[in-house]
Amino acid sequence: MSKGFSEVGRASYAVRKARGGRLILLCGIPGSGKTTVGRALRARLEKCVHVETDAIRGMVGAAEYTSGESKFVYEAATSVAEEALRQGYDVILDATFPREEFRRAALSRLARLFEGWLVVWVRCDPMVAYKRNSERTEKVPLDSFVRLWRSFEPPRGALVVDTQATTPDEAALKILASIGGGEKEEEGGLASAPRRGCAGLGPSSGSTCCRSSRRGA
């Protein structure tokens, strides 16, 4: 049995199928395994958009990882997530999100479009992450990697996935169990799960636990 998972805060992560889609926010330092886990998860969701900031940054050309560039990339990623949720897709928003304020900003902007949300902290040893990063075609420069690693604020109330101790498929199944949905079903969609409360506060108050919200409330 894998021991690669731990949960920060109270272990209650089930959410109900949202009318506008569910949001799963994957955060962690470069090379931690966010995109690999996200792709394994996307393959198991019936109607899902996997939004990768790396893919958007790749459109920029010679990425410099400046604050202005990062602001553009995050705004673009959140805009894609916004439209996907509006169209009824589940969304995996895959980005470093090094600071709690960045996570809160994304959750607050998208709050009226989803009923359920979950923050997942994908992590591993920084040296392992840097080795993975160095093997990529599009590498994060060393100075940017070190800056992101040192400034990364562990999310409060998140589901934690250790990619050194578990496989991408195991991680995806753990996240699916946490959001209350199953794998793809022949007759369409994911099973709805009863809504349960969880410890922590809402998107605008700093917690990154999962919860349900009702539009118009």
Tell me the average pLDDT across 143-157.
95
pTM, two decimal places = 0.76
91 forms beta bridges with: 23, 49
Phi, psi of 182 (to 5 degrees): -100, -170
pLDDT class for 1, splitting at 50, 70, 90? very low
Please say if the pLDDT value at position 87 is more than 90.
Answer: yes
Tell me the average pLDDT across 177-184.
70
- CA distances for 144 relative to 63, 70, 166, angstroms: 11, 12, 27
Q: What is the model's pLDDT at position 183?
A: 53
- pLDDT tens per residue, range 41-62: 999 999 999 999 999 888 887 7
Q: In 32-165, which residue ranges form alpha helices assigned H by DSSP?
A: 34-42, 53-58, 67-86, 100-110, 126-134, 142-151
pLDDT class for 93, splitting at 50, 70, 90? very high
- pLDDT tens per residue, range 137-148: 888 999 999 999
Q: What is the model's pLDDT at position 148?
A: 95
Q: What angle do CA 60, 66, 69 make, to 5 degrees?
A: 40
The pair of structure tokens assigned to 194 is 């009863």
pLDDT class for 115, splitting at 50, 70, 90? confident
- Rounded CA-CA distance 194/177 in Å is 12
Please say if the pLDDT value at position 190 is more than 80.
Answer: no
Please say if the pLDDT value at position 97 is more than 80.
Answer: yes
Please say if the pLDDT value at position 95 is more than 60.
Answer: yes
- Rounded CA-CA distance 2/95 in Å is 25
Q: What angle do CA 70, 52, 76 make, to 5 degrees?
A: 50
- Rounded CA-CA distance 215/217 in Å is 5
Average pLDDT taken over every residue of the chain? 79
> What residue ranges define each of the domains in the chain, with the CATH number in brackets?
5-212 (3.40.50.300)
- Beta-carbon contacts of 10 under 8 Å, excluding residues fewer than 6 positions away, are 198, 199, 200, 209
Q: What is the model's pLDDT at position 132?
A: 97
Tell me the average pLDDT across 138-165.
95
pLDDT class for 19, splitting at 50, 70, 90? low
- Rounded CA-CA distance 155/118 in Å is 11
